Structure 1
Amino acid sequence: MRTIALTAACLLPVLAFAQEGPYTISGSIGKDNKFEKAYLYSSNSKGRVIDSVAINDGRFTFTGKTDIAARAFLFTGNTLSSSFTANHLVFYLEQGNIKVESADSIANATVKGGAANTVHQQYKTASSDVTKRSDALSKKYYGTPPAERQQEAFKQQYQADNKAIAAAQQKVLTAFIKAHPNTTVSLDALTEWAGYDPDPAVAEPVFKLLSPTVRKSKSGQQFANLLESQRRTAIGVVAPEFTQNDTLGNPVSLKDFRGKYVLVDFWASWCGPCRQENPNVVAAFNKFKDKNFTILGVSLDNENGKSFWMQAIHDDQLQWTQVSDLKGWKNEAAKMYGVQGIPANFLIGPDGKIVAKNLRAEALEKKLASLLQ
């Protein structure tokens, strides 16, 4: 489970207002603020809300209309690309007047106005001690020399500390949802905590604390579907079968690989982290391809990106079978496996059962070595 996550899933609305109404966001982030623009990302029942305004003398104002209370993100920067930094604020875009105030940075701003923002602030307050512990652990980890991180004693202590923080966060979240079962804020907090690959045995009891109205909402059903996909792809279960066309248009089925260890690797040509991970996957393939192991790549490129997909296969020297239905994020296999982010992979044994999930870099080689050497 994750304590902090910034994902597209967080932008989906949960409960609708009776009708559309206006909002005004008044921001003040200090006269010494060095950024020129503020960027707003959120959603309403019609789709995403993306807006930007100039920052003048440390002040900015957004106006618009919405029919829902939806999670939103405020970024500041001089250009759109430069705004995607740690300098951001999470709040709720809802009807009425919302004040965002800070003496120095948008990341340190307080938010006032609206029922959802009031409840969200209560959750932030309840989680503050756990958040500080998580931030301190992260700072300690990245402040430790890489060689020391590989030492077994460091790994064990880090895992123990991480486990303790996760347990504390779950306790805070459970208490909060019990007290606030009818709000979108609780579902968003659960989604954020659960991450891309939640353990249904842990997350489902917390999910059931939400009111039926929230659980049956669009975002509630999306989370329920994610839990179901996690059950379908749990370690030890038979991997869901699928068939998609390869780069030449020939159908390829997962069952064609029965009898071998096969890594089902979800990626895309446009995915930077995927392309960065590809050299590790290539190294594992070259090391174990003659030991009853292969890879089945599944691309989340779309029809317009087919040429980029083909070029990426060539550039990254991916010598294994590649398939796609060219539907992007609507890829049927990706939906079947509950893929919420890429890269993602599933190691499947000769008997068709899932052996491991989301193996990266040395973890992939280590797992394959334990099975094949």
Structure 2
Amino acid sequence: MVKFFNGINVCWSVLFWLMSTATTAQIPMEKNITIIGHVKGDTKLYPRIYYYSKQVKLDSVEIVRGQFKITLPYQDRTTWFFYTQYERKTRKSYRPFPLLIDQPGTIKMDFNIEQGFYSSKLKGNKTSVLYADFFTKREELYALSKSKGPGIRDSARKAWVAQWCDDFVAKNANEFVSAYVLSTTGKSAMTLGQLEKSFVDLSPVLQQTNEGLSVAAFIRGMRQTGIGKPVKSFVLNDPEGKAVDFAQFKGKYVWVDFWASWCGPCKKSFPYMRGLYEKYRGPQFEILGISADATIDPWLKILEQIKNPWPQVWDSGNIASEFTVTAYPTSFLIDPEGRIILKEVGFEPNGPIERKLKEIFGK
């Protein structure tokens, strides 16, 4: 069992505050992220670089004489995604390249336009450089597993990627990027034992970051959310800010639906789910929608558009990790005693939950 030493963490927090105060008193802190790119090759009249994040809509700049510059406001740790117009036009598809940024400053990237961002050589932010190395290697492992044929593709991919996560964290136990890797790829690829081992490898400070706490919650969830396990009660707020206690649904079958405003398959499922809700709603059945949006505004905005008639709450308490959710939509069917009957990842008509509802209610 992992133990957290709060006294040490407080000391570290005070030390970091004193250090940052002393620094800012002498040197003004840069508040922007500056991306400076050098691009080789002929763009073939497709010179634009596109970029976005979960919080910022798609934008673009133009490559001029082999160079581009992007200035972004820094607010918090986040991942930005980049792709080229060249890639989109010449290949009719594109793979966004992730740049994990945990502080303001300048990042330089050099790449060949034909090979795209995945050939980038980065300089600057250490976290960005390390994550680019991790992500590029992960993609190579994915490609290698596909080349081995469908018989071993999925199992090989997860095993190889899980081992790469473990190796990466062991080498970078004091770097924020390791907590981020475990909270993203680690959750979906690693076994419980592997994830616990790598989590212990993290420094105590990293274990207490949002990403570290998310991994700890996920580990608890993997132990607690098997079929037949009782759901630990939780309280989240509805769109009006009123507390909704999951305990209030005891005595009903509850379809817990984890979704997000940015999730296309989630939104596509809602018309069909509304039909099922009308069919089964009543004193014995309810749906609870839990939004995984990072910020509350996109959730509130899309609720006005979709108008789902069942209760909705925003996951401000990281309940998705407690339920070991790694993809959206993910749903759970809970029995009247508060125990998990089944889990469904993704959604399709006449899927596992719908078939179970037919079995329970006979219609």
TM-score, normalised to structure 2, is 0.65
Q: 1:365 to 1:215 in 2, by over 3 A?
A: same
- The aligned counterpart of 2:114 is 104
- The aligned counterpart of 1:364 is 353
CA distance in 2, matches of 1:277, 1:183: 39
CA distance in 2, matches of 1:68, 1:333: 22
- The aligned counterpart of 1:190 is 182
- The aligned counterpart of 2:26 is none
- The aligned counterpart of 1:215 is 207
By how many angstroms is 1:330 displaced?
3.1
The residue type equivalent to 2:177 in the other structure is: V
| Partner SS state of residue 60, structure 1 | strand
Q: 1:292 to 1:123 in 2, by over 3 A?
A: same
Q: Percent identity?
A: 23
CA distance in 1, matches of 2:74, 2:242: 46
Following superposition of structure 1 onto structure 2, how do residues 1-373 of structure 1 map, counting pairs within 5 Å? 20=29, 23-28=34-39, 30-41=41-52, 52-63=60-71, 71-77=79-85, 86-93=94-101, 95-96=105-106, 98-114=108-124, 115-120=126-131, 122-124=133-135, 126-127=137-138, 129-136=140-147, 157=151, 161-195=153-187, 200-229=192-221, 231=223, 233-241=225-233, 254-255=246-247, 257-267=249-259, 272-282=264-274, 284=276, 289=280, 294-298=285-289, 300=291, 309=303, 312-313=306-307, 322-324=310-312, 328-330=314-316, 342-359=328-345, 360-361=347-348, 362-368=351-357
Deviations 1:323-350, CA, capped at 9 Å, x for gaps: 235xx45379768757676533221023
CA distance in 2, matches of 1:72, 1:247: 28
Identify the range of structure 1 (200-209 vs 301-310) with the bigger mean alpha-carbon deviation: 301-310
Conserved? CA contact 2:37–2:109, under 8 Å = yes
By how many angstroms is 1:203 displaced?
2.0
| Partner SS state of residue 232, structure 2 | coil
Identify the range of structure 1 (305-314 vs 206-215) with the bigger mean alpha-carbon deviation: 305-314
By how many angstroms is 1:108 displaced?
3.6
CA RMSD of aligned residues (A): 4.9
CA distance in 2, matches of 1:108, 1:188: 20
Conserved? CA contact 1:30–1:105, under 8 Å = no
By how many angstroms is 1:206 displaced?
1.8
By how many angstroms is 1:298 displaced?
2.5
By how many angstroms is 1:118 displaced?
4.7
| Partner SS state of residue 181, structure 1 | coil
Structure 2 unaligned residues grouped into runs of 5+: 1-15, 24-28, 87-92
Q: 1:255 to 1:97 in 2, by over 3 A?
A: closer
By how many angstroms is 1:279 displaced?
4.1
Deviations 1:29-61, CA, capped at 9 Å, x for gaps: 533254453244579xxx989975332245312
Q: 1:112 to 1:332 in 2, by over 3 A?
A: closer
CA distance in 2, matches of 1:179, 1:270: 34
- The aligned counterpart of 1:148 is none
CA distance in 1, matches of 2:170, 2:237: 47
By how many angstroms is 1:258 displaced?
3.6
Deviations 1:44-97, CA, capped at 9 Å, x for gaps: xxx98997533224531235786998654323349xxxxxx7343223556455
CA distance in 2, matches of 1:200, 1:77: 40
CA distance in 1, matches of 2:268, 2:220: 30
Conserved? CA contact 1:265–1:295, under 8 Å = no
The residue type equivalent to 2:266 in the other structure is: C
| Partner SS state of residue 201, structure 2 | coil
CA distance in 1, matches of 2:168, 2:146: 21
